[in-house]
Amino acid sequence: MSTRPSQHTDAFAVVAVSNVLGGLFSTLQNIVVSTGVFIWDFFLAIFNLITPNHPSNRVVPQGYAGAGGLWPKYVPAGPGDSRCSCPALNAMANHGILPHDGKNITFRQLNATVRSTYNFAPSFCYFVPNHIATILDRSYWTGVFDLSDIDVHNGIEHDASLTREDSIWERDQGKVSVTLTERLLKSGTGPNGDLTPADLSRLLAERRAESKANNPQYSQALQHALFGSANSSTMLTIFGGKVADLRPFLLEERIPDDWQPRTTTRMGLTMAAFNGTVLPVELGIKKFTVPKAKAKTA
């Protein structure tokens, strides 16, 4: 009598159990790592409260690109260069802080360069690249990526962006929507037309209504909504909402001459401090009643 069916069943069971245990181990590992990063971030936030800030004109450390406001030469992306939906990363590539072609970047390299360029806290600079590596199923410690790789839909890239058309309409998320970006830049109600948290809440409410009406594949789960608010909030934290700086940064993906990050805390922008901006922006969206957007016609 043949025992092959039983052998196949046993083999399947072993593989299934191994996959389940591997998934549980990975989940537990992620929970432990995330908890450790949040604790680390909390203590960095406390340290920022009790130590003096950097001088506003000397936020970027000496010896790094951008120190004293001296940024490497700006060279726009050319044919074959990889770019993504994040203006901050594209600008770094355009200035050669990341490889100009936007390819074969290590996650650890991203960590270090984002920290020195924009003054994010080291906890923040580990958490985000590690999250990207997880989305791409690559190793944070040894993996590499191209900028365009991070635009896996509903990973970090999401519908209803303030500067990009939804991916259903524009597959190349490295491409800036001039129409959307100009609308953003002209919407500030702060001094000198600068952007405020309420401005971002209003604009995000409008974009989500438009996207929902026009995009048959529209999705806006909680994590995607929070990514949208977080991505937008960097314009308030790192750029202070200053439209004069945001205009070249968003339209040309160029770091303005003599620019320094507006976040001047000693250890940089922590996730704890950042959430103090992100959550009011996201919660503020509910305050705006947006007229039902008209669907696009073919």
Nearest to 163 by CA among 249, 79, 82, 74: 249
Summarised one tens digit per residue, pLDDT across range 116-151 is 999 999 999 999 999 999 999 999 999 999 999 999
The token pair that represents 14 in the structure block: 């072993």
Average pLDDT over residues 178-191: 98
Please, what are the domains in the chain? 22-286 (1.10.489.10)
Q: What torsion do the CA atoms of 38, 234, 159, 223 make, to the nearest 10 degrees? A: 20
Residue 71: half-sphere exposure toward Cβ, Cα within 13 Å: 24
Model pTM? Answer: 0.87
Which long-range contacts does 30-37 make (Cβ < 8 Å, 24+ apart)? Answer: 30/134, 33/130, 34/127, 37/123, 37/126, 37/127
Confidence (pLDDT) at 295: 54
DSSP string, 27-61: HHHHHHHHHHHHHHHHHHHHHHHHSPPPPTT--SP
Of 219-223, 268-272, 289-293, highest mean pLDDT: 268-272
Does the pLDDT at position 272 exceed 50?
yes
